[in-house]
Structure formats: structure tokens, C-alpha cells
Chain A
């Protein structure tokens, strides 16, 4: 009796563990089966590097280079804004924050992490768009805010994991608090901080709703920080509702490109981590 229970339970655990892999495999399969033929029909080259996206033209044009560029610009902007603030916040929280203030900031960060992106998009529309317009800059700012909790949280735990005796060693040599933190503690935490940045990148590049609400969504090559742009995610979300046939397949191929991006980021991260170690 017991042994049957044991056997059944061990299978249940195995199945739970496999469900992740299974889900991933199904997503892969779906994207490749639907995406590859579309890319073949359009031509991989004119799909990836085409600068025109006009599905309703005759013949329709399916070039996603503007969206690739859009995603890269907006993500880079989010990194430039979010990462320095996030890391500095993490240093402050882990090394010099008074306990009373910590009790205030930390739950604030957690709350910010839980705010739905549509709400952040709304905030962007109401507060940032009136200043900078529907533009790359506005989207970067909102995404920068959005990745703050991720970057801060993971960097903070990485910094806390650095042994206190490094800090003592540096201070005992006559280094001031901030010199010890920036020259010894932070470099010792670099692989964790890097992980934080990568997760931030993943979050920014995959964000859809907030970006649609503030980026303008014009399917054209980015012209200026203050002009609108469309990201890969926005392209899919905006048109999937009414797309059919090749248009629909082209959108799935867009998702495939996005998926490959995420894959490359993760692989790059793994390689970097190895090199640091």
C-alpha cells in the first residue's frame, strides 16, 4: 500500500517538473510550425530586413525591421534609465538604509512590482506623454520604472550575499564606506547584478500593454527619441485580432523572432556568467 503511494507520488512530482519543459516545447513547436512557412513565403531576408510593414497593400509588405529596431531602442532606453537607478537603490537598501526607511521603501518596491502593466501604461499616458509625447523616450521611462523592482530586488540580494568580511577588509585599509561598497562589494556581486539586468531586459523587451499605450505604434523606422515607434510585441497585439492568412502567419513569425531574441539574451547571459566565474 505504502509503496504504491510512494510510486504514485514520485510520478506526480516528475509530471509537475516535466510540465514546464512540456509547455516550453509546445510553445517552440507552435512558433516554429506556424512561423517558418510564413518566413519562407515572404522570404527570410525581406521579412527580417524589410523596412516596410503594410499588410493591406497589394501586394502586402511584411518587413519587421522597424519593429526590431523599435524593440531594441525602447529596451535600451529602459536599461539606461532603470539599471543605474536600480543598482544604486540596491546598494542603498543593502548597505546604508536606516531600518525605518527600509520598512517603507522595500514594500513600496514590492508593490511597484505587482502593479499591472496596463496601470503603468495609464500612468504614462496621463503623466509622461503630455511632456514627451507618444515616443521612444516616454516608453523608455515607463519601462525603466517597470524594471526597477526586478533590477533592485535581485541586485539587493546579490549584494547581501557578499561576505561581510570583504567589507571589513576594505574598511580596515582605510577605505571609506562607499569606496568599500563600489570597489569591493559590488564587483564581488557582479554575476548576481548581471542576472538582475538580464531579467530586466527580458521584462522590458517582452512588455506589451504599457508600450502600446504610450509608444505611438507607427510601423516605421525610428526617427527620433521624441517620435513614436512600434515594438515587436505591439505589432502582434495590435493586429492579431483581425489578421488572417499570410498576415496572421507573419505575426506569428514576428513572435518567433521575439522568442529567438529572448533565447539569445539568455544564452548570452549564461556565457557571460561562466566567463565571470
Chain B
């Protein structure tokens, strides 16, 4: 009779090499990479016009607005950029010749030790970001090996992960969750929604970007960001390097 132990052994180790090696193509779908013009100096007018969220400008692409809808692909764009669209400042999410240079990953945000306890708050998401965040605990990404743990109480948390576009109904709850986290603490905005409103940026009656109501320390772009990018964002809180920087 088969048993769980046999099943586990038969399945073997599935865990990714990331972040000790760059993410593989199996881990990152086409839309998991940041978009940019195929020919880096020229942005076709049609690409600027085609973008439903206005992320594309003449010399920059605002990754914080991009919802990875792929409309610009037929207009001289490609998803060939970084897997980790992670930044410590909102302005650094822009890519392209007109963008501000991204600071090298600086020191940790605070005196965090080797482990980070993460508390997830959904302020109005489509559920995809929630599931990608939970996904970093699956055997393929195994966040625990990197000292990243989910906690069910803000009192035990170091990092507040926020997914979704802030709705008026969730404004008060998320502020109270933030207040309940003991210092030092960090806020990570996961996905286009909390960064810029994403696909819902022009919807009536919403609160607006998360950094209007909370101090955001790390931004991770994507719609939704891949688990690899989310791992990198949480590691950025502790000032840990990316694979390319390690090598």
C-alpha cells in the first residue's frame, strides 16, 4: 500500500535554485518579465496609444502601472526585461532611457534578523495576487528555506504585504493592521493594484494608490507578480541581493 512517505520520496525535491541562481524559463511565463521596446531608444507611437493604463511614455515604461496585458507586443515591444520589478522607491519602477537610475540594493530597511514574518492583507484584490503570495510557500519556492514565514497575527509580523487596490471599506482595517505591527516594520505593495491602481486605476470611488495612506517600503510590479518576484521583494526588505548581484 502506498504511503505519504513513499509519495514524498518518489516526488523528489522540487525546490527552485532561485535566488542562488537566476529564475528559469519554467518558473517565469512570458508576461512574468518586464516589458520594454525591442529597440531600446525608440518607442513607437502606436505602443503608447495602445496601452490601456498609460504605462508607456516616450522614454520610459512605468512598470508600476503595467498590467501585462501584452497589447504592446504587436507594436514593437517585448517582455524581455527583469523578472524582479522590485524597487524601494516608486520612481525607480520606471524603466528605459528616461528613467531614474535604480539605486543598488541598499542596506536592510531595519534591524531585521535572519527571518521575516509576513502578514498578508488584501485591500481589494482579484485573488490572483493572494494566491501567488500563498504560492511562495509551496514546495517549488519553499519560502521557509529563506527565512520567510507567514504569520496569522499582525502582532507577530515584521512585514505587511498588501495586495489589491485600496477600497474605502478596507482603508480603516489595513491602517489598523499596520498599527498593530510592532516596530521595526516594513510595508510591501504587491502588484500593480496597490502601486498605481492597476487595471482599476480609473474606477470611481476608490481610495487611490496605497502609498497615499501608508508608507510603502518596497514595491513589486506585475499583474500579478510571479512568486519569484514576490520572494525578491520580501528579501529586499532585509537588504538581500539578487542572483545577478550575487554572481
- The answer to whether A and B come from one shared complex is no
State the B residues within 8 Å of A (CB).
none
